[in-house]
């Protein structure tokens, strides 16, 4: 095997970071945008140079195959290139270009099974109604026709965005049967501070927390900020504020996490009582029962606050993703790989959602985590030391060889 080419890995990450970089240094690459298309093109060119057979599927996933001695089933690895608004350079791209680095490390070594590098489309859910779109299509969790009908907040239909910024040529079917995939492993930054704090090189992921996101509107009454006495107001933002604090309290009590990261205050004048607030809450829990409990708490608190403040409430579920377990065979392959590379490794759960969650519905799956500096992610400060990036790629290369035979 070849050593990991650290220079090329860093160059690839640097090159991708230019597609969608904003003034604050953060990267904004919405699914099926021009920036996303540019990033995909860059990666596809790299894949072709490596001799891969590069295809794209009906929803826009890129699938690049390296032949094995046998035709199938395939061992898959990869991640996403779309980002959150003003995100970092590693969440997603590391799992894509890290996979290419691992394949270059494997070099001339022949494997029994083919290895496929996949770029999942629309993982972050920052544009269309849901995230993990590409993996949901591959696992069959959501039908291709339902995905093509998704609409973004500007009214752009997924199928049309795909026609504009997807790849040329006829696509392959998105859905894969269990028999077609032997295993899946995704390299990713931890996005938390456990590995850094414990000075451990590699995390082998055993489970991924589930997610519930609700879109909520508070409908109060816009009125004059100076002339309206406090007891004659129906302030939509004051109601939203009470609700946000109740989410914080409920999440702490249940030992889960809850966030309101998106809030729109209308009409948005400094001397106008807010008449309408649109918000999205994001709830995460490692078990389905806990996820249902925090979700029920949040909805009942919403209606209680609305009644008490005479503010009308409209709400709907944006998406719910069930928590999922990773597979023991895949997890132990990562542990063996880390040991072979002389790296420390611990098992851990993921609080963030990943495409591995849907891949686990059709094949043994796991993830390889590397330390995140300061535990930061979904922000421009997201960072990982170069040697930790390389450790992740080396572990991925050994894991792929183990799984592909």
Give the footprint of Mn ion on this chain (CB under 5 A).
91-92
- Between residues 177 and 317, which has the closer beta carbon with respect to ligand GLV? 317
Peptide bond into 73 cis (omega under 30): yes
Q: Please give the structure tokens belonging to residue 358.
A: 């849907």
Name the β-bridge partners of 277.
218, 265
Size of the site for ligand GLV (CB under 6 A): 3
Give the Cα separation of 238 and 220 in Å (integer): 10
Report CA Rg, the chain: 22
Instruction: Give the shortest CB-114-to-ligand GLV separation in angstroms.
Output: 28
Residue spans of alpha helices (H) in 107-232: 133-139, 144-148, 158-165, 194-198
Give the Cα separation of 166 and 31 in Å (integer): 10
The answer to whether the beta carbons of residues 260 and 215 sit under 8 Å apart is no
Instruction: Give the shortest CB-378-to-Mn ion separation in angstroms.
Output: 6
Instruction: Give the shortest CB-109-to-ligand GLV separation in angstroms.
Output: 32
Q: Please give the structure tokens belonging to residue 140.
A: 């069959």
- Between residues 214 and 233, which has the closer beta carbon with respect to ligand GLV? 214
117-146 residues in contact with ligand GLV (CB under 6 A) are 124
Is 379 one of the binding residues for ligand GLV (CB under 6 A)? no
Binding-residue pattern over the window 80 to 119 for ligand GLV, x denoting contact by CB under 6 A: ----------------------------------------
- Between residues 211 and 330, which has the closer beta carbon with respect to ligand GLV? 211
Is 352 one of the binding residues for ligand GLV (CB under 6 A)? yes
Instruction: Give the shortest CB-24-to-Mn ion separation in angstroms.
Output: 17
Instruction: Give the shortest CB-281-to-ligand GLV separation in angstroms.
Output: 13
Instruction: Give the shortest CB-312-to-Mn ion separation in angstroms.
Output: 33
- Between residues 134 and 274, which has the closer beta carbon with respect to Mn ion? 134
CA distances 321 to 122, 125, 133, 276, 377, Å, are 15, 12, 12, 28, 21
Determine the distance from the C-alpha atom of residue 206 to the mean position of all C-alpha atoms in its chain, rounded to a whole number: 17
- Binding residues for ligand GLV, per CB under 6 A? 124, 352-353
């Amino acid at each position: 095997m070849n050593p990991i080419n650290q220079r090329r890995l860093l160059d690839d990450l640097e090159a991708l970071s230019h597609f969608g970089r904003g003034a604050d240094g953060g990267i904004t690459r919405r699914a099926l945008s021009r920036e996303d298309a540019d990033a995909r093109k860059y990666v596809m060119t790299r894949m072709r140079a490596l001799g891969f057979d590069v295809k794209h599927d009906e929803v826009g996933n890129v699938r690049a195959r390296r032949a094995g001695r046998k035709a199938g089933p395939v061992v898959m690895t990869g991640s996403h290139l779309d980002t959150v608004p003003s995100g970092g350079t590693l969440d997603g791209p590391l799992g894509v270009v890290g996979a290419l680095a691992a394949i270059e490390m494997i070099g001339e070594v022949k494997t029994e099974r083919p290895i496929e590098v996949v770029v999942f489309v629309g993982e972050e859910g920052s544009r269309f109604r849901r995230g993990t779109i590409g993996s949901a299509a591959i696992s069959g969790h959501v039908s291709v026709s339902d995905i093509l009908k998704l609409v973004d907040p500007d009214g752009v239909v997924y199928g049309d965005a795909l026609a504009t910024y997807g790849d040329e040529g006829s696509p392959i079917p998105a859905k894969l049967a269990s028999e077609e995939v032997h295993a899946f492993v995704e390299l990713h930054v931890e996005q938390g501070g456990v590995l850094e704090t414990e000075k451990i090189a590699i995390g082998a992921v055993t489970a991924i927390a589930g997610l519930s996101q609700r879109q909520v509107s508070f409908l109060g009454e816009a009125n004059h900020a100076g002339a309206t006495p406090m007891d004659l107001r129906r302030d939509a933002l004051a109601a939203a504020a009470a609700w946000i604090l109740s989410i914080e309290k409920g999440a702490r009590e249940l030992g889960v996490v809850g966030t309101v990261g998106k809030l729109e205050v209308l009409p948005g004048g400094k001397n106008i009582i807010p008449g309408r607030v649109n918000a999205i809450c994001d709830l995460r829990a490692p078990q389905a029962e806990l996820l249902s409990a925090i979700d029920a708490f949040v909805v009942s608190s919403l209606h209680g606050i609305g009644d008490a403040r005479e503010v009308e409430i409209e709400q709907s579920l944006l998406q719910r993703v069930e928590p999922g377990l990773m597979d023991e065979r895949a997890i132990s392959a990562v542990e063996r790989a880390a040991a072979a590379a002389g790296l420390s490794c611990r098992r851990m759960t993921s609080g963030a959602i990943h495409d591995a969650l849907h891949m686990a519905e059709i094949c043994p799956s796991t993830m390889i985590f590397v330390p995140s500096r300061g535990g930061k992610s979904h922000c421009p400060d997201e960072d990982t030391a170069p040697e930790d990036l390389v450790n992740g790629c080396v572990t991925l290369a050994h894991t792929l060889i183990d799984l592909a035979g």
